[in-house]
Chain A
């Protein structure tokens, strides 16, 4: 068993172990923090499919995170106010079913990723970064100017949505849901990376022209990866909104996109568990340093600088070795 596999197992076990210890110590706040780390890791795993495998530096993934969040917010707010979402041409009611909300969040963010990807993937490099950022900001300002759903103030949901057989208001049970989703998505991401599609995507990142000569279309590969990536990030957004029982335009902001990217860079670009390590570290720093100073992002920036300069493989790369480092 390689060092990275051992490290992945440790990281994977650390989240539920921390949650269970917090449960034993009767520290629900810590369980909520671990849940937040699991959800943010999920968003990072989503972006890592595009960034790590496909080399797509998207600075607009907050768009999908926000769409997922607002899918939850809109559906749940209509359910709690007993008003239909729309009546014409057919009736659509709100819902408090987490599974239905996830389905809507995944579909909506995948469709948005398809549209945004179809346009932005025609560009590369800095232009791709800028066009994805522009789409994210476009949705951010749209959310701000949408008074029906709270505008700039956002939207509060009073009761957490339902999941069959579980009490979602119980922190440990909600953690179990988030961790379960993260597990499934990590398994899926690992399968994608080893499947011919993932290998071709990785090859296209290395040299698109070479991939074309073996009959693969880099644009199509990247678009599919972007859609999968957006859908996963959208699902994370729906869970994040459920965790906070609140959605706001901040979910669409470029800072959110930046934070998701920071998880990946801290943990290790292209590493399966990189976003898990990065999100866990981010939450830990936010909790520990945030208590010391309002300007804790300065320390985070410093850490990021050190990682980029001296540990290009992130935490996982530094601890597991560079043999599978992202090139």
Chain B
């Protein structure tokens, strides 16, 4: 079985159904791009994987475990590290406090996170809410890494950032792929950047996975049809 496997996942927010059948498979150490236009169910899929939203149908398996019955903190303990949309750091805590609050033993510690994002080391004692958007994003990624996950989920990690900061984030993602051996599930709108990091892609359309395959196989026609680029 795949490291992460979603089969026929359906989910709703109250009476409003958001996912109508999502299939996704990711192997250990791979990078998968989860793509689609706005409102197609990318973030909902991430929420289902992290158990912040319960699936009403289908199944979610991760590292040989059925995530279905688990609450979200147990799913995180199983090895899921989420970098949520909108960064969402703990504003009144300092950079260091944000990072150690949820730290779990493993290869990722404060020093290693600062190696990846030297600016976090420089801002160690600064409260998170006073950081720039890019620094908060770095902190959100660092916080997820400090939990020493097996799979890192990046939900719109570069959204709303200045181009130069986006480049820094993408450089860090590439470093993670190259050096950490972590599996990555990346939600982003930048097809050009995703082509450089992702091994394969899944495209969602109206809450369904409508295309999946190797990143190289994602040609202009598919991109035009589903992503509007």
Question: A-side interface residues toward B, CB under 8 Å?
Answer: 196, 199-200, 202-203, 206-207, 209-218, 324, 327
Establish whether residues A214 and B102, one from each chain, have CB atoms under 8 Å apart when the complex forms.
yes
Establish whether residues A213 and B76, one from each chain, have CB atoms under 8 Å apart when the complex forms.
yes
Given the known interface contacts A213-B82, A215-B147, the answer about A206 and B103 at a Cβ–Cβ threshold of 8 Å is: no
**B31 part of interface (Cβ distance < 8 Å):** no
Residues of A within 8 A of B84 (CB): 210, 213
Residues of A within 8 A of B222 (CB): none
Establish whether residues A215 and B90, one from each chain, have CB atoms under 8 Å apart when the complex forms.
no
User: In the complex, what residue of chain B is closest to A197 when comparing beta carbons?
Assistant: B101
Contact of A212 among B71, B81, B101, B104 (CB under 8 A): B71
Given the known interface contacts A199-B101, A214-B102, A215-B77, the answer about A207 and B72 at a Cβ–Cβ threshold of 8 Å is: no
Establish whether residues B71 and A203, one from each chain, have CB atoms under 8 Å apart when the complex forms.
no
Return B65 CB to nearest CB of chain A, in Å: 14
Return A201 CB to nearest CB of chain B, in Å: 9
Q: For residues 131 through 181 of chain B, which have their beta carbon under 8 Å from a beta carbon of chain A?
A: 143-144, 147
Contact of A327 among B71, B91, B101, B104 (CB under 8 A): B91
Q: C-beta contact mask, B91-133 vs A, less than 8 Å → 1, else 0?
A: 1110001101111100000000000000000000000000000
**B229 part of interface (Cβ distance < 8 Å):** no
Establish whether residues A216 and B73, one from each chain, have CB atoms under 8 Å apart when the complex forms.
yes
Please measure, in the bound complex, the distance between the C-alpha atom of A199 and the C-alpha atom of B98, giving whole angstroms: 8
Please measure, in the bound complex, the distance between the C-alpha atom of A283 and the C-alpha atom of B71, giving whole angstroms: 47
Question: B-side interface residues toward A, CB under 8 Å?
Answer: 50, 52, 71-73, 76-77, 81-82, 84, 88, 90-93, 97-98, 100-104, 143-144, 147
Please measure, in the bound complex, the distance between the C-alpha atom of A215 and the C-alpha atom of B82, giving whole angstroms: 10
Return A323 CB to nearest CB of chain B, in Å: 9
Please measure, in the bound complex, the distance between the C-alpha atom of A192 and the C-alpha atom of B71, giving whole angstroms: 26
Please measure, in the bound complex, the distance between the C-alpha atom of A9 and the C-alpha atom of B71, giving whole angstroms: 44
Establish whether residues A214 and B92, one from each chain, have CB atoms under 8 Å apart when the complex forms.
no
Residues of B within 8 A of A211 (CB): 73, 102
Given the known interface contacts A211-B102, A215-B77, A215-B102, the answer about A202 and B92 at a Cβ–Cβ threshold of 8 Å is: yes
Contact of A199 among B77, B91, B93 (CB under 8 A): B93
Establish whether residues A203 and B90, one from each chain, have CB atoms under 8 Å apart when the complex forms.
yes
Residues of A within 8 A of B91 (CB): 206, 327
Residues of B within 8 A of A218 (CB): 73
Return B91 CB to nearest CB of chain A, in Å: 7
Please measure, in the bound complex, the distance between the C-alpha atom of A202 and the C-alpha atom of B91, giving whole angstroms: 11
Return B176 CB to nearest CB of chain A, in Å: 17
Residues of B within 8 A of A196 (CB): 100-103
With most chain A CB atoms within 10 A of its CB, the pick from B71, B84, B97 is B97
User: In the complex, what residue of chain B is closest to A324 when comparing beta carbons?
Assistant: B92
User: In the complex, what residue of chain A is closest to B83 when comparing beta carbons?
Assistant: A213
Return A276 CB to nearest CB of chain B, in Å: 22
Establish whether residues B52 and A209, one from each chain, have CB atoms under 8 Å apart when the complex forms.
yes
Establish whether residues B93 and A203, one from each chain, have CB atoms under 8 Å apart when the complex forms.
yes
Establish whether residues B88 and A214, one from each chain, have CB atoms under 8 Å apart when the complex forms.
no
User: In the complex, what residue of chain B is closest to A202 when comparing beta carbons?
Assistant: B93
Please measure, in the bound complex, the distance between the C-alpha atom of A212 and the C-alpha atom of B50, giving whole angstroms: 9
Establish whether residues B144 and A214, one from each chain, have CB atoms under 8 Å apart when the complex forms.
yes
Residues of A within 8 A of B76 (CB): 212-216
Establish whether residues A200 and B52, one from each chain, have CB atoms under 8 Å apart when the complex forms.
no
Please measure, in the bound complex, the distance between the C-alpha atom of A207 and the C-alpha atom of B91, giving whole angstroms: 10
Please measure, in the bound complex, the distance between the C-alpha atom of A215 and the C-alpha atom of B103, giving whole angstroms: 9
Residues of A within 8 A of B147 (CB): 214-215
> Which are the 7 A-B pairs with shortest beta-carbon distances?
A215-B76, A214-B102, A199-B101, A212-B72, A212-B73, A215-B77, A203-B90
With most chain B CB atoms within 10 A of its CB, the pick from A199, A200, A324 is A199
